[in-house]
A and B are shown apart, each in its own frame.
Chain A
Amino acid sequence: MNCNEAAALVARYVDGELDDLQRRAVEQHLRTCANCVAEHQAALALRDRVRADVPYYEAPPALRERVRALAAESAATAPGRAQSWRERWRWLAGGALAGCAATIVAWTVGTAVVAWHTNDDVAAEAVAMHVRATLNNHLIQVASSDQHTVKPWLSARLDYSPPVHDYATEGFPLIGGRLDMLGKQRVATLVYQHRLHTIDVFVQPATGGAPPALRTLRGFNVAHATGAGMDWTAVSDVSPDVLKVFVERIARDDAP
């Protein structure tokens, strides 16, 4: 090992980030090279000074209390308050989800720390897709309020062609679409907006099964309807009755 090679590794050596082989090579080089020893000493000295002199700020007790109260409040949310909690979250979050997204994508993929229930249940899977898409800021692959843009985009990527309508006049503007995997099938997901809520509608050819019309999972509502030869599964945090009416409305597949 020469000085150039060693110099590149000294910082990682100090940080304990070398494997055994590299570490031994650096140690051997340090026994023979005064320049690199000086480098190593400087790195150690800086690290020790930073750790000794740079304060580690502990959370003030008042903050700790406020945070605990926050958690208690969220545990105590009755259905009536759930809405206001959600509203407040949304207000706080605003563009935050977008900001959060990139890292959380890497996080999810890279470390599998966020592991969803492995569950065949389509409703649970649909909720997981919805949450993941929201977290990842990946709600929309084709952004358009124009059904004539979204439909061909989806058809080109699927072996079926889902009906797509914009229901803006009824308070549910189409904002785009994307592809998801649901029950090991590639499905079309239509994304609608209702006030501040996002509604994902998973559309796939009807299977003849009879899933429950309405469920609540992890705080999200899942409504199901069959119509126009398709199964329609809507996931959102809008109220269950609104979601049910909406999914039945789109399953009728007549233009507004």
Chain B
Amino acid sequence: MTLARHAQFEAVVMPHLDAGYNLARWLTRNPSDADDVVQDACVRALKYIGALRDGDARAWFLTIVRHAFYDWCKRNRPAEIVRDDGTALDLAVDPLAVDPEQAAARTSERQVLADAVAALPLPYREVLVLRELEEMSYKEIARVADLPVGTVMSRLARARGLLQRSPLLHAIRGRTSGGDL
């Protein structure tokens, strides 16, 4: 039974380890924390893999990674978890976003967009990463992030709006092309 579980883990989880790490990396914004989160997620996945019969293994594993992250976050950065889904989030400003000129001066345009994504409040960042980097459907995101599809759409819209208006992007655009997105 355990041998079968090992084989199942190799077949089911390992192909999605990159996806899991990428999500953990964007959620924690830190490589070594992402390592910890992914390892914890794998321990959980090993435990419950017997219950996974078929279906979308990537979404299953990413769900576990996300939970492992939130548990890690509760222990290590409780302030980052904002439970309110409403306007309180609009007010959330990440310290990474407060000094756009300096940031723009020292980083390339490419880096600036990555920084802007990293600066998104957590609830927006996770749906954006699942959508644009993992290219998941709204339904899959809803499953992974445990949200109604409508909330996925509104958070995604908000995330994109924040990116388009990001002071980081505007600072860099002012210096380069000056054009709109």
Chain A positions near chain B (C-beta within 8 angstroms): 11-12, 15, 17, 42-43, 45-47, 49-51, 53-60, 63-64, 66-68, 70-72, 74-77, 89, 92-96, 99-100, 102-104, 106-107, 110-116, 131, 135, 218-219
- Residues A70 and B39 in contact in the complex (CB < 8 Å), given A12-B153, A100-B44, A103-B67: yes
On whether the beta carbons of B117 and A50 are closer than 8 Å, the reply is yes
Chain A binder among B82-90, B97-105, B155-163? B155-163
| Smallest beta-carbon distance B124→chain A, Å | 13
- Residues A47 and B132 in contact in the complex (CB < 8 Å), given A17-B137, A58-B18: yes
Q: Which chain B residues in 1-31 approach chain A with CB under 8 Å?
A: 1-3, 5-6, 9-10, 13-14, 17-18, 20-22, 25-26, 31
For B4, the closest partner residue in chain A by CB is: A75
On whether the beta carbons of A42 and B22 are closer than 8 Å, the reply is no
On whether the beta carbons of B114 and A55 are closer than 8 Å, the reply is yes
| Chain A residues with CB under 8 A of B70 | 99
* Interface check B79, CB cutoff 8 A: no
| Chain B residues with CB under 8 A of A64 | 14, 17
CA distance A113 to B110 in the complex (A): 38
On whether the beta carbons of A58 and B47 are closer than 8 Å, the reply is no
Cross-interface CB contact of B43 among A58, A92, A95, A111, cutoff 8 Å: A92
On whether the beta carbons of A113 and B55 are closer than 8 Å, the reply is yes
The 26 listed contacts between A and B (C-beta, < 8 Å) are A11-B153, A11-B160, A12-B153, A15-B131, A17-B137, A17-B138, A50-B113, A50-B132, A50-B133, A51-B133, A54-B132, A59-B20, A59-B38, A63-B35, A64-B17, A67-B13, A67-B17, A70-B39, A74-B2, A100-B44, A103-B146, A104-B63, A106-B143, A107-B143, A114-B53, A115-B54
CA distance A111 to B34 in the complex (A): 28
- Residues A59 and B132 in contact in the complex (CB < 8 Å), given A53-B113, A96-B68: no
| Chain B residues with CB under 8 A of A11 | 153, 156-157, 160
If A63-B38, A116-B51, A131-B51 are given as contacts, then 10 extra A-B residue pairs at C-beta distance below 8 Å, sorted by A number, are A50-B128, A50-B132, A57-B21, A59-B21, A67-B42, A94-B71, A99-B70, A103-B67, A107-B63, A113-B60
| Smallest beta-carbon distance A50→chain B, Å | 5
| Chain A residues with CB under 8 A of B55 | 111-113
CA distance A131 to B47 in the complex (A): 11
- Residues A59 and B17 in contact in the complex (CB < 8 Å), given A46-B160, A75-B2: yes
On whether the beta carbons of B54 and A70 are closer than 8 Å, the reply is no
| Chain A residues with CB under 8 A of B78 | none
Chain B positions near chain A (C-beta within 8 angstroms): 1-3, 5-6, 9-10, 13-14, 17-18, 20-22, 25-26, 31, 34-35, 38-40, 42-44, 46-48, 50-56, 59-60, 63-64, 66-68, 70-71, 74, 109-110, 113-114, 117, 128, 131-133, 137-138, 143-146, 153, 156-157, 160, 163-164, 180-181
CA distance A135 to B156 in the complex (A): 29
For A101, the closest partner residue in chain B by CB is: B67
| Chain B residues with CB under 8 A of A92 | 40, 43
| Smallest beta-carbon distance A6→chain B, Å | 15
| Chain B residues with CB under 8 A of A111 | 55-56, 143
On whether the beta carbons of B71 and A57 are closer than 8 Å, the reply is no
Cross-interface CB contact of A96 among B50, B53, B67, cutoff 8 Å: B67
On whether the beta carbons of B52 and A102 are closer than 8 Å, the reply is no
| Chain B residues with CB under 8 A of A114 | 51-53
Cross-interface CB contact of A54 among B43, B68, B113, B181, cutoff 8 Å: B113
| Smallest beta-carbon distance B175→chain A, Å | 16
On whether the beta carbons of B138 and A49 are closer than 8 Å, the reply is no
Cross-interface CB contact of B10 among A51, A58, A71, A104, cutoff 8 Å: A71
| Chain A residues with CB under 8 A of B143 | 103, 106-107, 110-111
Cross-interface CB contact of B110 among A53, A75, A93, A96, cutoff 8 Å: A53
| Smallest beta-carbon distance B10→chain A, Å | 7
